[in-house]
Structure 1
Amino acid sequence: MPTELEELVTFLHSPQPAVVSIALDNLVGYSQGAHQQVFAYDNYEAIKDLKKLSQEKGQTHVVQSVTVLANLCDDITMRNLIVEDEDYLKYLVSQIVNVNNMNADIMCILLTNLAKNDAINKVLDFKIDRSEKQKEIFKSDKAMDCLMDCFVKGADRTLNKYADYDYLSYFFADISRFSQGRQYFVTEQEYDGVVPLTKLLVFTEKYDSRIRREGVASTIKNSLFDTNSHGKLVNDENINILPYILLPIAGPEEIDEDDMFNLPEELQLLPSDKKRDPLNTIICVHLESLLLLCTTRPLREYLREKSVYALIKELHKAVEDEGVADLCDRLVQMLQRDEAPEGQDENDEDMEDSDEEDDKIVEIL
């Protein structure tokens, strides 16, 4: 005999809308923690029901079903049942890029939570069947390009009055953990001739949006695991990634004049009220990006020429945080150490891709 909760789950596919509404309303609170397993009843039939309900026109049913699905992503089996349904994944992406969709933000959270699974890479191959209005907004029919446009053009609800698309930054961070995703972010796109990562750089100092800064910082870091792209990302003036990593960790402290004028131009003569990122966790991500840039000798030498050490030294003195201090120490060791003679093999320091923050499921309360 099913328990009372299990019976409630079976009501999700009732032919009576009122019964479905009551079931959904009561089940949202059971989509987190140990209670999640009630949705596994009857061979996970509830997942099919929830996906179907999330495609209805009724606002309440869509919000509640997407909320439950997003929370259930904490369970690997249930997450797989959602993300490996290619038709549903296509539907989800198409609805996020629908600029009239009132539920775009909560769908961004679901997409982000699904990105813990390798199957999310399918999004990189999706194309959007654009309406005439969408063609005016999105110049490419590739789903990733459309999602990028939503994030960049839609900040502060300027594209969709119901959505700010902030959570797409976490989606970008997650998909950039995979080699195919990294390749997208560091490759110039045919439709606009721009490297996608450059579109995100401006948000590293958006101090009114923790989510955007956090997701963008992680996307930058993950993209830097592609060491072959370091030279281009740093030296190409159309990308120029280094200042966007350094500015969030720079404060108002005075730096020796010689060092200051060796810094990238964007960091010279900063105002006395310059603020560094208020979150030490985000500062740590930027420091990890600098460590990744230290992987090869040419980039270490470039960072020395740009007086990055002087900036790190001031950061170390100004911020009392164990994580920041540890990463500063590691950077100092990399930048101040003696290099092996030219032509001699060297054991470059590698960093493991520890994405504990990226692996978090966003729970909707």
Structure 2
Amino acid sequence: MLSDSEAAELLSFLAPGTRPDVKGHTTGYILGLSGHRDGCRFLRSKPDLISALFALTSDPSIAIVKDCYHILINLSADETLHQVLMNDVNVVPVLLKNTMDPDFPFSDQICSILSNLTRHEKTCKSLFKEDVGLAQLVDIFCTEGYNKNAKFHYLAPMLSNLTQLPEARHFLMDKDRCVIQRLLPFTQFQASVVRRGGVIGVLRNCCFDYANHDWLLSDAVDILPFLLLPLAGPEELSEEENEGLPVDLQYLPEDKKREDDPDIRKMLLETLMLLTATKAGRKALKDKNVYPIMREFHRWETDTKVTAACEKLVQVLIGDEPEQGMENLMEVEIPEHVEEKLKEADAKEQQELESEEDRRQIHEEAENEEGTQTRQD
């Protein structure tokens, strides 16, 4: 790794007045450095270097700006750099301001950085306190063509991360705002697995607040068809089974395809499972004839983790009601040793999901030539 004197020399090459070719070579070198854990940890100890790189995101050279944003994406993917980026360099206010600019050319890169920064609860809380402008972010996310340079797909995982927080969930489920309803159609947004997955993550997090289940299942939101449609296939159901289903799920065409991403299918099932936590939720899912959709889905599914999630849901749908005093499954006391094991399993699963998210991010952005690819000298 670089010595302190070499790092100081590198910093001198990042001054705004430095020749563009020298600056470009330097940002290219640091981009390569940031592609490795050791390089990220080295840069963590050099906040002045990160500040200089952040200042160059307004450089006249597009190539240099692009390098700098990709460096910041790489650094923000490492949780140990979050406090440096947010406190020492104070990136968030500028990033949010630029995201709101409908002509800004690097909004997608900013969305990737913000998505990374909100992955962990501590930095998520810090970012939310920055007056994140949730209403405007949702508006941008839902407005096609808001910025001709950006797709804003990575706002979806950012919103999903933010809904770890009760305050963010409270905003999205404010009955007077009609926010969550605007997100529902994106559960079947075919152009981006990141957008679909992020929105379904938002819905799953919102369903942890069981006090809102009646409202989510009511005509005011009507969440159920948006969760079921991606899981429904072309199988022919009986007339009686079709008539019991929500209208959008009746008599589906022969070419109806299911969600092709297993992680997203699992999230959809987990969201449905959360809705069965209350007696009223279980009744709603049974009344809406969810079981035949799950029966056919189970026959089709090949992923063992998804199959296991489906079987849990089916057991609730066909099983007897819990005994008196246990009607609300979210309020049932869990023994401490069992809770510890569940937490360990959740942590392992979250780690796997984040690794998968990183792979997705690299793959999707590479396809759009907007990627997080690391150029190495």
TM-score clears 0.5? yes
Question: Residues 279 and 51 (structure 1 numbering): CA distance in 2 closer, same or farther, change over 3 Å?
Answer: same
Determine whether 1:320 maps to 2:302: yes
Q: In the aligned structure 2, how far is the partner of 1:57 from the partner of 1:179? A: 41
Query: Does residue 6 of structure 2 align to residue 24 of structure 1?
Result: no
Q: Secondary structure at the match of 2:329?
A: coil
CA contact 1:121–1:181 (8 Å) conserved in 2: no
Higher mean displacement: 175-184 or 163-172:
175-184
The structure whose residues are more often helix, as a share, is: 2
Cα deviation 1:331-363 (Å, max 9, x = unaligned) = 01111111145x544472688766443585556
d(CA) in 2 for partners of 1:262, 1:345: 28
SS of the aligned residue for 2:187 comes to helix
Within 2, Cα distance between the matches of 1:243 and 1:226?
19
Offset of 1:14 from its aligned partner?
Answer: 3.4
Alignment coverage as a number of residue pairs: 341
Pairs within 5 Å for 1:81-230: 81-84=84-87, 88-117=91-120, 118-121=122-125, 124=128, 143-154=133-144, 158-188=145-175, 193-230=176-213
Paired residue secondary structure (1:187): coil
TM-score, length-scaled by structure 2:
0.82
Following superposition, the deviation at residue 10 of structure 1 comes to 2.6
User: Which residue of the other structure, out of 313, 329, 344, is the alignment partner of 1:348?
Assistant: 329
| Equivalent AA in structure 2 for residue 153 of structure 1 | T
Quote the offset at 1:86 in angstroms.
Answer: 8.9
- 1:45 is aligned to 2:48: yes
Superposed displacement of residue 3, structure 1: 7.0
Is the contact made by 1:12 and 1:24 (CA closer than 8 Å) also made in structure 2?
Answer: no
Indicate conservation of the 8 Å contact 1:173/1:358, yes or no.
Answer: no
Which residue matches 1:67?
A: 70
- Letter aligned with residue 136 of structure 2: C
**Which aligned pairs between 1:170-319 and structure 2 lie closer than 5 A?**
170-188=157-175, 193-235=176-218, 237-319=219-301
1:12–1:23 CA contact under 8 A, matched in 2 = yes
Amino acid at match of 1:50: L
Match of 1:333? Answer: 315
**Sequence identity (%):** 27
Q: Partners in 2 of 1:102 and 1:143 — Cα distance?
A: 20
Report the Cα offset of residue 224 of structure 1: 1.1
Show CA shifts across 1:264-323 (max 9, x none): 111112112111112122111100101111111110111111111111010000121112
Residues 291 and 61 (structure 1), Cα distance of their counterparts in 2 relative to 1, 3 Å cut? same
Q: Give the whole-Å Cα distance in 1 for the aligned partners of 2:59 and 2:241.
A: 60
Over residues 220-247 of structure 1, what are the superposed CA-to-partner deviations in whole Å (9 max), with x where a residue is unaligned?
Answer: 1111111111111111x23111100000
C-alpha contact (below 8 Å) 2:200/2:267 kept by paired residues: yes
Q: CA RMSD in A?
A: 2.6
- State the shift of 1:108 in Å: 0.9
Partner SS state of residue 276, structure 1: coil
Question: What TM-score comes out, normalization by structure 1 length?
Answer: 0.85
Q: Secondary structure at the match of 1:261?
A: helix
8 A Cα contact 2:16 2:56, kept in partner: no
Distance in 2 of aligned mates of 1:219 and 1:5: 45
**Residues in 2 aligned to 1:347 and 1:144: alpha-carbon distance in whole angstroms:** 31
Change (3 A) 1:5 1:283: farther
Q: Which amino acid aligns with 2:140?
A: C
- State the match for 1:130 in structure 2: none
Distance in 2 (CA, whole Å) between partners of 1:123 and 1:143 is 10
Contact kept in structure 1, 2:54 and 2:68, CA below 8 Å = yes
